[in-house]
A and B are shown apart, each in its own frame.
Chain A
Amino acid sequence: MLRLGIDFVRRFARNRAALIGLLLVIVVIGVALAAPWLFPRNPLRIVGRPEIWPFVNSRYPLGTDSLGRDIAAMIAYGARTTLLIGLCASVTATLIGITVGATAAYFGGWVDEMLMRFTELFQTVPNLIFVLTIVSILGQKIEYVTIAVGIVTWTPIARLTRAEFMALRDREFVQACRAMGMGNLRIMLGEILPNALPPVIVLSSLVIAGAVLFESAVSFLGLGDPNVSSWGRLIGDGRTLIRTSWYICAVPGLAIMVTVLALNLVGDGLNDALNPKLRDR
């Protein structure tokens, strides 16, 4: 196990882009964790003159927005929101996806047919429109945004889990478990799932990046939680001032881009390290 772990780390470290991505992700996580310590007071509080440009006043290194709020503080607290929603949405999507995909492949037959039609349904509904509908019906709360994003992003995970389970469900060790009289649930969770998990984990790490983009679009449209600092909301608020102070939009947008870029690089790196067969293509 340990040797496998070391092997994995070495393969991951050979990929320079993935290392850079990992470094950036660690920086973003660090900023998110340190936010209350760096900016002890409420980030949505008005601190100074509105529309101070970045690098002009050393007290507000990234400037202030149209209301005179500190952009640096909002970016730091926004990192918390972004990472939290991205992570929770990805976990939600992974749980739904694994449940649907595993059940479909393990039982096969009409269960498989029904569940795959169900998956197709969620692939057909235009995802952002669906998110907006759910948020408008349930209300503008951070939990609902998270659930909504999870609900529209689980389909690829379900398909992948199904494919992995299909390949494993008739293998000898599974048949041995059946012969021993193990229950279906125990075989699925205890025996097949650990073997099917690595590619699924890679995909859910990529889902985090997608969830971050979804969250930013929802809060950009002004449908996110109004009481939480968010990068997308900051862009939406700054949009009316692009003639004079376009930096209000530029700074949080760069933050989103760097985060998504880093997450994608890490996901690709994990993919290469966990699926060495694909690597040499």
Chain B
Amino acid sequence: MNRIVLRRLAQVIPLVLAVIVLNFVLIHLAPGSLFDVMTAEQQISDPAMLDQLRHTYGVDQPTWVQLAKYIWSVMRLDLGFSYRQNAPVLNVIMDQLPATVILMLAATSVALLVGVTAGVLASVRVNTIWDNLISLAAVFFFAAPSFWLGIMMTVLFAVKLGWFPVGGMRTIGAGNGAFADALDVMHHLVLPATALGLFYAATYARVMRASMLEVFRLDFVRTARAKGLSPSRVVVAHVMRNALLPIVTLLGLQLGTILGGSVVIEAVFSWPGIGSLLFDSVMSRNFPMVLGVLVLGSLLVAVANATVDLLYLRLDPRIRAR
């Protein structure tokens, strides 16, 4: 078991290396190098000074030396220096990352909870009005852009009804105490997590319904019924557990999209995560920051994918045997 875990984690390394190389290529594709942007912002025009700076930043060296140096520095978790925040890129990203991870986890939970429940309900009551209603809702939420859903939910629940705050993560100047703070964050989290999660809930509901119907036809379900288990126990303990496998696969494949989606949702709800940071950096052409977010985002997805694969092993012992 330990060997499988190690082997799966080892596969992450070449991927991250490739992302770093991709990054480097992108930097060099950019019209006007980072060096030009930097010197322009500092208004340096003296040729001797420029030459010296070129030497200091290593821009005068051949491309492959720069690539090797870049890989080496990223390996040491040195993603460069953000002249805009006047702090190392890694520190700025690490400050903002927890908020994004909270949002992603909350959205994934909403998606799983709503999607799996709807899928199970639709499959148990197949071809009834419930099934049709759930399928219809899934089709609609699958087509609605999450940011638009977020804005519409803000209009209804925050502006008209006033149930939830319009944006942000914490109430400014709210009372202290860890518990009150957690409650406050959760209150702010409801709308963004729902807006982001409903799109994925739609996918999960469709997949869950199909995979439940598939499992219902299998022999062991008939056996379970024949030995006198109650219908609800058959559904929960036998069918659902087996039907969940495709959902886990899907979850692993979609983590990258959820991270991307949270960028947009953060912009809608002014959530202080790496999405807002990325957006600001893209606008100000702060490339070290943009590429830092890309590298760390990819690393996050790669590690999460490996985790999902290992989770798969736990859920389905048959895979381990192979």
Contacts and interface: CB of A to CB of B under 8 A. Distances in A.
Nearest to B12: A124
B31 interface: yes
Interface in A241-281: 242-243, 246, 249-250, 253, 256-258, 260-261, 264-265
A217 interface: yes
B257 A126 contact: yes
B297 A121 contact: no
Contacts of A123: 253, 256
A127 B264 contact: no
A127 B260 contact: yes
Contact of B145 (A132, A239, A256): A256
A179 interface: no
A117 B29 contact: no
Q: How large is the interface on A (under 10, 10 to 19, 20 to 34, 35 or more residues)?
A: 35 or more
B264 A125 contact: no
Interface in A205-220: 209, 213, 216-217, 220
A243 B301 CA distance: 37
A96 interface: no
Contacts of A217: 145, 147, 264
Interface stretch (B14-22, B84-92, B226-234, B240-248): B14-22
A50 to B, nearest CB: 19
Nearest to A127: B260
B19 A125 contact: yes
B253 to A, nearest CB: 7
B257 A128 contact: yes
Contact of B294 (A129, A139, A264): A129
State the main secondary structure of chain A at its contact with B: helix
Contact of A129 (B142, B152, B297): B297
B305 A139 contact: no
B129 to A, nearest CB: 17
State the main secondary structure of chain B at its contact with A: helix
A221 interface: yes
B143 interface: yes
Contacts of A130: 260, 294
B267 A242 contact: no
Contacts of A239: 151, 268
Interface string A135-161: 111110000000000000000000000
Q: By CB atoms of chain A within 10 A, which of B15, B18, B145, B152 has the most?
A: B145
Q: How large is the interface on B (under 10, 10 to 19, 20 to 34, 35 or more residues)?
A: 35 or more
Contact of B264 (A134, A220, A258): A220
A223 interface: yes
Given A124-B256, A129-B263, A217-B145, A223 B302 contact: no
Interface string B136-151: 0001101111011001
A248 B165 CA distance: 21
Contact of B15 (A121, A216, A265): A121
B164 interface: no
Contacts of A7: none
A257 B263 contact: no
Contacts of A135: 282
A253 B159 contact: no
Contacts of B267: 220-221
Interface of B: 14-15, 18-19, 22, 26-27, 29-31, 139-140, 142-145, 147-148, 151-152, 154-155, 159, 253, 256-257, 259-261, 263-264, 267-268, 278-279, 282-283, 285, 287, 290-291, 293-294, 297-298, 301-302, 305
